[in-house]
Amino acid sequence: MNKPDPQAMTSNWMSQFADPATWQSWMKLPEPDINPLAGILKDVGAHISPSALDAIKTDYLQKAAALWQDMAMMKTPELQDRRFAAPEWQSNPLSAYSAASYLLNSRFLLEMAEAVEATPRDKQKIRFAVQQLVDAMSPANFLATNPEAQQHLIETKGESLTKGLTNMLADLQKGRISQSDESAFEVGRNVATTPGQVVFENELFQLIQYAPSTATVHAVPLVMIPPCINKFYILDLQPENSVVRYAVEQGNTVFLVSWRNPGKEMEAVTWDDYVEKGAIEAINVSRAISGSNKVSVFGFCVGGTIASSALAVLAARGEQPAASLTLLTTLLDYEDTGVLDVFIDLNQVAKHEKNLANGGLLPGKDLATTFSSLRPNDLVWNYVQSNYLKGKNPAAFDLLYWNADSTNLPGPMFTFYLRQMYLENNLRVPGKVTTAGVPLDLGAIDAPTFIYGSRDDHIVPWTAAFKSMGLLNPRKPKNNRFVLGASGHIAGVINPHAKGKRSHWIANAKPNGKGPAADPDAWLASASELKGSWWSAWAGFLAEHGGKDVKAPGKLGSKQFAPIEAAPGRYVKVRAEEA
């Protein structure tokens, strides 16, 4: 056995990585615009200080020599990585050495990326792209180097290979990797089952009113505006984890926007349309049906940005319909956009504007693959190994079923949102963004606000969500409340109260300018950790601003807005490829 050359062990990876087309063909995922960084990638050493480069090389050579020595002495290396936790990796010396070599090379490349001297934005892109590469090149991802898959092949007498190829061909037809047993779920049958009626619809959305489950309800109804980049039923999966059902059980009359999955007829729809014909229309219809002048407004993710924009439009027109505002994992200040920042710069936005600003659709599969690329080991390679290499069928999982049910976006709406919010961060500046004919001022919204962030959110960092505390209700900041939950962007939100899982943190808000509310780190230092879901804190907030209790309505809708069909309605059942 020849002694490996550490420089040769990495040169091939680096030369291939320098070619964005090669990297994209490996991953089949959207890549950040790394063309401006080609010079750095092709001559990475010139962009790292000599002392840092020497330290990385010395450390690498020492570890490579130690690994070779262990291998020569037939000493199996320890693999501190869950991808190689199965006993087959340890029982096969060559497989163990392959995995250990991969981990060493991965660490070398990531340390090189970390040491590159570049602007923060370019450095984040380099780190992201290198991480994509090392995740893709794991020996666990290939049948020839995965001893688990090989053992399964022997045990099943080749059946796993046949099944794996069948799974792969089926996914090629779908255009995406299957993450869940999709035959186990059906919208309206065992997901999105909270009883209700569609009481209004237009070309953009259906409005669902849910049937009360309590004898009395708060006089102020709740209007829920979910994100338009995916289906609303993330908020109404199954009875035990449904945010919608929980809100109904807490004595709220709940209205919810079910966005239409855009097809060719919506190619020219704008951001203004989503605000005016979407959120504002939903608020007005809910007020008319309930007979309440005020409503509690709820927005989740992009739905929170739309909801806040709608209330700012109404404030500019002299209207204040919100008794309260709830924002879950929502960005209003886009200074820190987490890992999504690698996909957003002037070149990328200009490319989308050239293709879509005057009409067209951003396909839902493009959004889905973008989000999958943020966690490729969990959302891509895990299923490549299981579905294709081992021939297993994915388990039934309601959240991942929803995750695969993507939506398209109208080009003009998407490009406006991308430039005004993500690229230029204009929404936080009073008067900088004009929507529905008026300049927006978030500070003009007169409503106490409940803001929720998830501590491990990689899409909306909780510290970025926290910045909304300084933008909303500035005249009465003590009426704002921030709650921090455990876990990530979705799992942190869908954390049923009854299960008592995870934790949340609460602190008393202080006026802006001084005190914890002005600074997220200070807020966290003063916050108390409470076991279980944050849902109960939110229910208390809604009750506090929900007005007096009144008799629950006996019928849904009204004379003007008669029920059209049973919830969850038609719009949510249209898949992106069918729109």
What are the two backbone dihedrals, phi and then psi, of residue 485, each rounded to the nearest 5 degrees? -110, 160
CA distance linking residue 229 with residue 261, whole number of Å: 9
Q: Which residues of 262-275 are buried (b: 16+ CB within 10 A; e: fewer)?
A: beeebbebbbbbbb
- What does the alpha-carbon distance between residue 272 and residue 187 come to, in Å, rounded to a whole number? 29
Q: What is the DSSP string of 323-379?
A: EEEEEES--SS-S--GGGGGG-SHHHHHHHHHHHTTS-EE-HHHHHHHHHHTSHIII
User: CA dihedral defined by 223, 225, 231, 235, rounded to 10 degrees?
Assistant: -60
What ranges make up the beta strands (E) of 219-349? 222-225, 254-259, 295-300, 322-328
The residue assigned the tokens 């320098």 is 18
Query: What residue spans of 137-193 are helical by DSSP H?
Result: 147-155, 159-174
Residue from 275, 301, 327, 459 carrying the catalytic annotation: 301
Q: Are 311 and 276 a contacting pair, CB within 8 Å?
A: no
CB-based contact 564:198 (threshold 8 Å) = yes
**Beta carbons within 8 Å of 355's beta carbon, 6+ residues apart:** 411
State the DSSP code for 230.
Answer: B
Output helix, strand, coil percentages for the chain, rounded to the nearest 5.
Answer: 50, 15, 35
Report the sign of the C-alpha dihedral through residues 539, 448, 332, 285, in that order: positive
Q: Is the dihedral of CA 353, 355, 356, 362 positive or negative?
A: negative
Tokens describing residue 249: 């059980």
Helix (H), strand (E) at residue 110? helix 93-115
Asked whether the bond before 568 is cis by omega within 30 degrees of 0, the reply is yes
Burial group, residue 189, by CB count within 10 angstroms (0-12, 13-18, 19+): exposed
Instruction: For residue 570, count other CB atoms closer than 10 A to its CB.
Output: 14
Structure tokens that stand for 503 in this block: 């934790």
Give the C-alpha distances (Å, rounded to integers) separating 433 from 277, 309, 429: 18, 10, 8
Residues written for the chain: 579
| DSSP string over 195-220 | -EEEEEE-SSEEEEEEPP-SSEEESS
DSSP string computed for 536-556: HHHHHHHHHTS-SEEEPPSSS
**Could you give the 3-state DSSP secondary structure of residue 256?**
strand
How buried is 318 (Cβ within 10 angstroms: 0-12 exposed, 13-18 middle, 19+ buried)? exposed
Whether 301 is catalytic? yes
- Which residues form the catalytic set? 301
